[in-house]
Amino acid sequence: MVLPRLLANASLIEQIQARQHRRPTLETVQISARVDPALKSAIERYCRSRGLVMNHFVQEALLDRLEELEDIEELKQLRHEPTRPLADVLGELKLDGKL
């Protein structure tokens, strides 16, 4: 599956966003997707009402979704990290003079 490889490189999204800001006229490729006509109309109305270019809107939406998926993967990994009782952490902080 491509997604796990993509998520393994968390800086990929950051690289794309940085390139967009440095060179707004990046080289692009065309993709196509079949969507419900009502969804397309809603996107067109939204973009038109806010003066947005649909290409930019769709690209930002895809980047946002990839970021969400990365966050989900990170949360899954965090769930498996060992935990410690709060009392132990507070005790250590007091010993270190941080509390």
* pLDDT on residue 12: 66
Instruction: List the chain pLDDT tens, one digit each, 99 residues.
Output: 444 454 455 566 666 666 666 555 567 889 999 999 999 999 999 999 999 999 999 999 999 999 899 888 888 888 888 888 999 999 988 887 777
Domain range spanning residue 32?
2-95
* pLDDT on residue 25: 58
Radius of gyration, alpha carbons of the chain:
21
What total of structural domains would you count in the chain?
A: 1
* pLDDT on residue 31: 92
* pLDDT on residue 9: 54
* pLDDT on residue 20: 62
